[in-house]
Structure 1
Amino acid sequence: MQAGNRSTQHTPATPAFLARQPILDAREQIVAYELLYRSGPGNCAPDKPERDATASVMLHALGIIGLSVLSAGRPVYINFDDANLLEDTPELLTPEQVVLEILETATPNAELLARCLEWKARGYRLALDDFVYRPVWEPFLDTVDIVKLDVRALNAGALLAHVRQAKSRGLRIIAEKVESREEFEYCRGLGCDAFQGYFFARPEIFENTKLPAATATLLDALRRVQEDDDSQAVERTLSRDAGLLYRLLRYASSIGFGNATTPRKLRDAIMRLGRRNLQRWLTLELYAGARDTHAAAESLLELAGQRAELMSMLAVANPQTRKRIDEASAIGCLSLLDTLLGRPMQQLVEGLALPKDMSDALIMQTGPLGRMLALTQALEHADHAAIAGQCQALGLHADELPGLQARALEHHLEQAERLRQAECAREDGAPPGTAAGK
């Protein structure tokens, strides 16, 4: 899908690092993992502001390495300081996926307590990390679910007192920095519920290639659109990149939605486009942005656009999916991201927080949406046996397909022309409403 020659500068890919340490129960079975910030392959945590370290852990876990790889289906513990807890950072993960560890460096004031109560009300579990009792922490002990006790920082008497205090409140106890069998047996005998430390395993380093900043922003925006976040959340995400912001405003003014003026605000552009067109634009920006680094990006962009249109037509033709045109279009657009970004589809889907049936469609091609994707791919390869099988499964007649393909191609070419005109307007500096912008 041609959109003109871009002069966009691309940030080179750089390695991303993260460490994972298991948390075991009294039977020495892994029940969770703590995710730890690392800046390189060395197994140590260099100095870095806690807020930035948490952001790095979240970014790498969700968008680069993949939470499914790291968690293996178990909860993950992540450190959060005051700033992270007062912001919306934790909501990138569901309450089932994460335990919020309140760092010992946090300031236990009324504002933080109120925010912790909010997280608790939303179903998140809270833990006090490296906990040492002080009266100022008293209200938090009625809010959290877990306390983590550093066996290297507490002497025998203090450790026993902390265990008894936590048990009297019904809290779970994790003994940290357990380095020997004797320490494990001792802490288990005191009544600790879970254990973490070098006795079991040193943190395991994970490494993957970090996506360029613009790509990460587009994936984050796509996730928010899929989750039906309000326009402000999408706006905040896209505002990170001035180039994306400018291109979206130009696109919204050029695609002919009955308004020839350029939207002055990003929110106006988002409202004008609507969810489906915004989703399409975000996905196509991902393909277009990879042109300088991926030899086949242009071809993938073209094919993704064709798939999106045909998937939309198939959704309309199928009684099971007539109300799911947007989802069908998204599946078509997203179906080549793994090839474009060089990442497993499962990892990409996880980072986008797609509904399960959409995830299954992309990963396993199951359900009506998955079968439509399989049919689309069979048509591309002229696999007549697969075409017949998928048509039968979807309740479609094979003689309907040529007409659907023709209409899909027509819509695809119209969309390609709109993108080309929007790009020409951007490059030429033509004001909206001129020949280049219509």
Structure 2
Amino acid sequence: MSQASETPAASVLFARQPIFDAALEIVAFELLFRPTDGGPMPMPFDGNRATSTVLLNAFTQGDLQTVSQGKPLYVNFTAETLSNDLPFDPARLIVEILEDIPFDDVMHDQLVRLRQRGFTLALDDYTDADAENPYLPLVDIVKLEYPHYCNEGFEQIVGALRQRHPHIRILAEKLETEDDLRCCRHVGCDLFQGYFLARPQIMHGAAVATDRIATLKLIATLNKPKVSVREISNAIECDPTLGVRLLKLVNTAKYRRQADITSLTQAVALIGTQRIRSLATLLALTEMEDKPESLLQLALSRACLCRELAGSEAELAEKAFIAGLFSYLEAFFNRPLAELVDSLPLHPSITEALLNHVGPVGTLLETAIRLESGEWNEIPWAPLKEIGIQATDVSAANRRAIQTVRELQTNAGS
């Protein structure tokens, strides 16, 4: 058997379809979700997951320059994914708003914020008969679904858009014949897309495990400084399996209460945000069944040690916990730490601690790493002193962390 036949086939990352200008030069690409195994679309279709998969595979995997050829990339966004902070270069990404997203004040404000950050906005699959759609004043591009209109109707809508919203560029999509293209060019469309010009091309590579990225985002949310009870509850509720397991764990653990806990909000309020977030973090990482249990124990031990080193400084403690935990990301995800950190909503002080071991959080992380290795003399004593931590504090924190880890593992196994 040849060596090539033994190499596993690369996963499908997405499909890429060119977008042309009036001179039929490629000026952009639209990235389209495709199942990683190359099979049929999953049913029911999860638009949020599809958008997240495309974004992660395009912007955090491989060579973006190869994917984009230096041109902007159109990506479909759902209402939920639009509400997230987009950690991508506005010059590279065109935010394509799905036509079925309801328009309201919240959506209006979100689109205004995206425009202020420099993102180009496109309205997808437009089929209205007039130019009164509330999205139009906020977008830069409207994609007209050409097959929906007769020739006269198409010319009328193009004219109405030109008159009412002269700032908008008009993209004619779903062009399947030369006559379709000729008509759209004749009425003055700016951009063109469809099977007649080019079919979507499947792009292959090493796909991102989106469920694991979701786990990271959940942990990042749980461990934000000053996170509210409601935020923690909402984050856990996004993963029903995690929510059920957490409630079961809390109801079997030896916590003082008068009655069984029946809701996540009740659990967080009664047990306390710090303990709940620690337990949820432990359970979330436990879902990664292909990783050895010892790896989870090491990550959790370092995280607890970092938090205990911070002492009574609550905000610093929670930042230190997430830094300690995420310092093991490369081992969990088999990807570069810088790449993973870039895809998460982390506080800059945590990012700097993880990548460069600088700042108070970085000092605590460096201290934990030195303690684990038995390098007492290499601990950054001067920076520790600047944040009010003495040698006796380090020893006490280490003892408390060992006890905390033992308690968490006992509860998780009950």
The residue type equivalent to 2:307 in the other structure is S
Residue pairs, 1:25-424, within 5 angstroms: 34-40=30-36, 52=45, 54-61=47-54, 65=57, 67-69=59-61, 77-79=74-76, 84-85=78-79, 88-94=80-86, 99-103=95-99, 106=100, 114-115=103-104, 117-122=105-110, 123=112, 124=114, 126-135=121-130, 138-149=133-144, 164-168=159-163, 169-173=165-169, 175=171, 190=188, 192=190, 203=201, 205-209=203-207, 211=209, 215=212, 218-226=215-223, 231-232=229-230, 234-235=232-233, 237-239=235-237, 244-253=242-251, 258-259=256-257, 261-290=259-288, 292-294=289-291, 297-316=292-311, 323-382=315-374, 387=378, 390-393=380-383, 395=385, 400-401=390-391, 403-424=392-413
Q: Which runs of 5+ in 2 are unaligned?
A: 1-9, 116-120
Shift of 1:354: 1.4
Shift of 1:303: 2.0
Mapped contact 1:147–1:171 kept (Cα < 8 A): no
CA distance in 1, matches of 2:21, 2:376: 54
Shift of 1:220: 4.3
Shift of 1:375: 3.6
Mapped contact 1:279–1:330 kept (Cα < 8 A): no
Mapped contact 1:252–1:269 kept (Cα < 8 A): yes
Q: Which has the higher contact order (CA 8 A, sep 6+)?
A: 1
Q: Which runs of 5+ in 1 are unaligned?
A: 1-13, 107-111, 427-438
CA distance in 1, matches of 2:142, 2:352: 37
1:370 aligned counterpart, secondary structure: helix
Shift of 1:328: 0.8
Mapped contact 1:249–1:263 kept (Cα < 8 A): yes
CA distance in 1, matches of 2:361, 2:28: 34
- Are the structure 2 counterparts of residues 323 and 53 from structure 1 closer, same or farther at C-alpha, using a change threshold of 3 Å? closer
- Are the structure 2 counterparts of residues 283 and 414 from structure 1 closer, same or farther at C-alpha, using a change threshold of 3 Å? same
Mapped contact 2:11–2:204 kept (Cα < 8 A): no
Mapped contact 2:96–2:124 kept (Cα < 8 A): no
CA distance in 1, matches of 2:307, 2:261: 28
The residue type equivalent to 1:330 in the other structure is I
Deviation track 1:51-98 (CA, whole Å, cap 9, x = no partner) reads 825233234246x63744487799864335xxx54xx34323449676
- Are the structure 2 counterparts of residues 269 and 150 from structure 1 closer, same or farther at C-alpha, using a change threshold of 3 Å? same
CA distance in 1, matches of 2:103, 2:240: 35
TM norm structure 2: 0.69
1:135 aligned counterpart, secondary structure: coil
Mapped contact 2:35–2:42 kept (Cα < 8 A): no
Mapped contact 2:236–2:243 kept (Cα < 8 A): yes
- Are the structure 2 counterparts of residues 260 and 53 from structure 1 closer, same or farther at C-alpha, using a change threshold of 3 Å? closer
CA distance in 1, matches of 2:72, 2:316: 32
1:92 aligned counterpart, secondary structure: coil
Q: What value does the CA root-mean-square deviation take over the aligned residues?
A: 4.8
CA distance in 2, matches of 1:155, 1:27: 24
Shift of 1:134: 0.7
CA distance in 1, matches of 2:259, 2:280: 21
CA distance in 2, matches of 1:394, 1:56: 43
Shift of 1:34: 3.4
CA distance in 1, matches of 2:106, 2:388: 54
The residue type equivalent to 2:245 in the other structure is R
Mapped contact 1:22–1:30 kept (Cα < 8 A): yes
Shift of 1:263: 1.6
The residue type equivalent to 1:118 in the other structure is V
Mapped contact 2:223–2:318 kept (Cα < 8 A): no
CA distance in 2, matches of 1:273, 1:75: 48
The residue type equivalent to 1:219 in the other structure is L
Identity of aligned residues (%): 23
Mapped contact 1:252–1:272 kept (Cα < 8 A): no
CA distance in 2, matches of 1:230, 1:76: 36
Shift of 1:405: 4.0
The residue type equivalent to 1:327 in the other structure is K
The residue type equivalent to 1:141 in the other structure is L
